Amino acid sequence: MDEERALYIVRAGEAGAIERVLRDYSDKHRATFKFESTDEDKRKKLCEGIFKVLVKDVPTTCQVSCLEVLRILSRDKKILVPVTTKENMQILLRLAKLHESDDSLEKVSEFPVIVESLKCLCNIVFNSQMAQQLSLELNLAAKLCNLLRKCKDRKFINDIKCFDLRLLFLLSLLHTDIRSQLRYELQGLPLLTQILESAFSIKWTDEYESAIDHNGPPLSPQETDCAIEALKALFNVTVDSWKVHKESDSHQFRVMAAVLRHCLLIVGPTEEKTEELHSNAVNLLSNVPVSCLDVLICPLTHGETAQEAATLDELPGDKTTEKDTVLKSNAMVYNGMNMEAIHVLLTFMEKRIDKGSSYREGLTPVLSLLTECSRAHRNIRKFLKDQVLPPLRDVTNRPEVGSTVRNKLVRLMTHVDLGVKQIAAEFLFVLCKERVDSLLKYTGYGNAAGLLAARGLLAGGRGDNWYSEDEDTDTEEYKNAKPNINLITGHLEEPMPNPIDEMTEEQKEYEAMKLVNMLDKLSREELLKPMGLKPDGTITPLEEALSQYSVIEETSSDTD
């Protein structure tokens, strides 16, 4: 009945009556997302009637009421087929200031119409394949970028920017061709980066360094939403940017990484919004070429250095050890570099682990990012090693038992999700400079077996990447406990009595043959398959491994 009454007024009434009836309809169905199929035809006709009203010269308030109802109705995919035409799309583009004219955004009274038109376009493009094709034909991406340029430095039109960016994100998500158009033809990377700069009110102190006010106010809800939409759009634009081919590309990615560092060091209006903001920043950082991620850390500023020096001067005498402790006690500083952004990423990772769910979507991006940063940048790796794998002192508990970051990551090494356990193991392996003996010290052989088998390192050794040769130093507590550490479990065990010490030689031989017969039976019934190590360190059926070693020996003897 609501649709029938609204349709009657839309067809025959004047602007004031249309506005009132559509406002009532909008208020009643604002939270409606599922519609009755019996009224489908009426909703189609109501959409057509609304488009006829929108082409007329009606007051702005009436246009807003029409667009609000159209936005609600566009949630229903079934009614969009007959109403999604080129003419209707052009009507919405005109109302959203996306047509070809160079009109500036000066009339504040038009802003609600622009915002509602963009909301309608978001729903229609998302729900209609025909609208997606028309978007390509009408070159909608270029029009959206043009509108962004008009409002990128305007502080009071965040809603327009937000829904412009959301529509740009949807287009780049649904059409891969638009991604390359945005990246190269429309210069989307610098444009969207500037939108982020504006949302964060960034003030540059150096080429890739921004001023951070830790005591400043949080971002407003509008600025946060705008930034999140820009981050998602940038993710699509840069999704294939693993390699930098030109110096200009490298500069753009470094600027973007510096903006993302600033993003990690600020907070949103709520804890949930801050996490969403940082989550999208992490996703985007994963697209930045790893060579450009060095801007995430920076040398201490003059003021920070002076503060550290003042702290050192307060120490009595010339006790170097105590001075080193003061420097290391500041978790944000390592080797003269500001590590705030890396510390935020580490904290973010730990929070995602503590959630205990959605590891593949929520945890693997930040783990992968930290792994690549550690592999490529020595200072980042050493800082993370210091935070995640500090020198061992107490080895009475298994590596997976406890509440430290190390304990949590070791538990993930045996997670049921293959992708999660692989990236967790890879992260720890990189922190250990891809040395098997160092990894086993922190995780135990049992937890690391999966990674070592996949890498062909069950027999020991190290990975393929080169790292500095600085040696790890063991604590005195670890050195004293090392002889009694169980290499499989990775923790200290009291010496156990050997059960065969009190056996006679005949009893030992009997038990050995009994074990051989049991293994032979399991093997013949294919319940157990004996495996061996190939020369390259990977595991294979025992017969194949033995045959390969035989071939090697024969080749060696022939050479002799």
Q: Domain residues for 83?
A: 1-138
Note whether residue 294 is domain-resident.
Answer: no
Q: In whole angstroms, what is the distance from residue 246 CA to residue 250 CA?
A: 7
Say if CB 105 and CB 157 are below 8 A apart.
yes
Helices (H), 138-184: 140-151, 158-174, 176-180
Note whether residue 120 is domain-resident.
Answer: yes
Residue with tokens 């809603």: 159
β-sheet bridge partners, residue 4:
none
Quote the number of domains for the chain: 2
pLDDT tens, residue order, the chain (560 aa): 578 888 888 888 788 999 999 999 999 999 988 888 888 898 999 999 999 999 998 999 999 999 999 999 999 998 998 889 999 999 999 999 998 665 667 788 889 999 999 999 999 999 999 999 999 999 999 999 999 988 866 655 888 999 999 999 999 999 988 998 998 899 999 999 999 999 999 999 999 999 988 888 999 999 999 999 999 999 999 987 655 566 678 899 999 999 999 999 999 999 999 999 999 999 999 999 999 999 999 887 655 554 544 443 444 444 433 333 334 434 488 888 999 999 999 999 999 999 988 899 999 999 999 999 999 999 999 999 999 999 998 888 999 999 999 999 999 999 999 999 999 999 999 999 999 999 999 999 999 999 988 888 877 777 666 666 665 678 888 888 888 888 888 888 777 778 888 889 999 899 999 999 998 888 888 888 878 777 777 778 877 877 776 666 666 555 55
Note whether residue 375 is domain-resident.
Answer: no
62: which residues sit within 8 A by CB, 6+ positions away?
15, 16, 18, 19, 53
Q: Which amino acid is at 494?
A: E
24: which residues sit within 8 A by CB, 6+ positions away?
none
397 DSSP assignment: S
Q: Which of 138, 158, 188 is the last residue in one of the domains?
A: 138
Q: Which of 106, 138, 170 is the last residue in one of the domains?
A: 138
Q: Which of 102, 120, 138 is the last residue in one of the domains?
A: 138
Note whether residue 479 is domain-resident.
Answer: no
155 DSSP assignment: S
Note whether residue 155 is domain-resident.
Answer: no
Q: CATH code at 103?
A: 1.25.10
The CA-based angle 218-221-227, given to 5 degrees, is 85
- What SS3 state is found at 540? strand
Q: Which amino acid is at 290?
A: V
Note whether residue 116 is domain-resident.
Answer: yes
Note whether residue 14 is domain-resident.
Answer: yes
The CA-based angle 379-384-389, given to 5 degrees, is 130
Note whether residue 468 is domain-resident.
Answer: no
